[in-house]
Amino acid sequence: MPIPPNTIGVDLGGTWLRVARVTVEQGRVAEMERAATDVVGGPEGVLAQMQGMIDRLRDGGTLGLGVCIPGTFDVESGVVLGLAALPGWTGFPLAARLSDHTMLSCRLENDAKAAAIGEWEAGAAIGFQNFVYVTVSTGIGACAVVDGRLLRGVGGLAGEIGHTQVVETSERCACGRHGCWQVLAAGPALARRAEAAARSSPSSLLATLGLAARLSGVEVERAARAGDAVALSVVREHASMLGIGFVNLQHVYAPELIVVGGGVSNLLDLMRPHLGAVLQDQLLPGFKPAEIRASAFGDIAGLVGAAAVARNFAMSVARVTH
């Protein structure tokens, strides 16, 4: 049997490095490896990790590589310009180094944009011309597709919706300012909200799950699904904060669909009625609340998208040369 054509997707995260072989035909992950990112080893350490994983996963059908990174890069040269979670990468020629090692083409993509591409081509947003992918985890990032075009902006910087200011005062954001949407609606905000609720209702199930350890979305989900009223009110409060940003996204991009990824999306079915109510209540006349779907790929959306970027590039080269 012939080896099915495939591309290798790489997802460089601040915590995990993931590499997968993805089939060209169905966009299916055939095989995947994961390792803790060698943050201390810097670009050379991580490059060695990537090369080892790629060498094990690639086969005779591999057409190219796609790498998604949590930051910015030069599109033509594949040089990293800056990664928020990983120090020491500015100026590193990642695409060229991987290409030299593997003798395959290598394209870079930003992680939120790669995830949107993954959802668009093979996941929750297939067939949509107007949607926004939002990832809600430690921070909030987004990528909008408007009239069938993925919006990049100068330097590929479009989509930093997490740092739009929605209130005047709050805890300080990672960016140094106050009042950013992500301070109110990302994963750490959910944890803070849960801890405050558990402190004021010490007999709640939520509090019993979290008295010994810090609370996170995992405990909130467990208690909420068990019907704990305190956890359900945390979910409702969090949904209203998330909804503020969704209203902004709808007013700016007018999507028909919002795809939600990141850890907080595990609570999406519980939050959806509240999110829907916020949209219904706050959207301008003429706007219809967007459908809200969870990411089809969860935390591997970026990986699948990176493989799709590699496939699209390999196809475009094949079209030019044939």
Q: Which is nearer to Zn ion, 70 or 305 (CB)?
A: 70
Length of the chain (residues) = 322
Query: Do residues 180 and 163 make contact, with C-beta atoms less than 8 angstroms apart?
Result: yes
Q: Quote the least distance from Cβ 86 to Zn ion, whole Å.
A: 19
Q: Quote the least distance from Cβ 30 to Zn ion, whole Å.
A: 38
- Contact region with Zn ion (CB under 5 A), list: 46-54, 83-91, 158-166, 257-265: 158-166
Binding string to Zn ion for residues 281 to 320, with x set by CB under 5 A, is what?
----------------------------------------
Q: Which is nearer to Zn ion, 48 or 167 (CB)?
A: 167
- Contact region with Zn ion (CB under 5 A), list: 152-160, 171-179, 240-248, 268-276: 171-179
163 near Zn ion, rule: CB under 5 A: yes
Dist CA 36 CA 23 (whole Å): 25
Residue from 108, 180, 215, 267 in contact with Zn ion (CB under 5 A): 180
Q: Pseudo-torsion of CA 18, 22, 28, 33, nearest 10°?
A: -30
Query: Do residues 51 and 19 make contact, with C-beta atoms less than 8 angstroms apart?
Result: no
Dist CA 247 CA 241 (whole Å): 10
Q: Which is nearer to Zn ion, 245 or 305 (CB)?
A: 245
Q: Quote the least distance from Cβ 171 to Zn ion, whole Å.
A: 11
Residue from 114, 117, 134, 173 in contact with Zn ion (CB under 5 A): 173
Q: Quote the least distance from Cβ 182 to Zn ion, whole Å.
A: 6
Q: Quote the least distance from Cβ 190 to Zn ion, whole Å.
A: 17
Query: Do residues 310 and 63 make contact, with C-beta atoms less than 8 angstroms apart?
Result: yes
Dist CA 269 CA 225 (whole Å): 11
Mention every residue, 6+ apart, whose C-beta is less than 8 A from residue 46: 12, 17, 37, 38, 39, 86
Dist CA 63 CA 53 (whole Å): 16
Residue from 35, 175, 277, 283 in contact with Zn ion (CB under 5 A): 175
| Amino acid of residue 51 | Q
Q: Which is nearer to Zn ion, 85 or 283 (CB)?
A: 85
| Amino acid of residue 110 | N
Judged by CB under 5 A, how many residues of this single chain contact Zn ion? 4
Q: Which is nearer to Zn ion, 55 or 171 (CB)?
A: 171
* C-alpha of 170 from chain center: 24
Which residues lie near Zn ion (CB under 5 A)?
163, 173, 175, 180
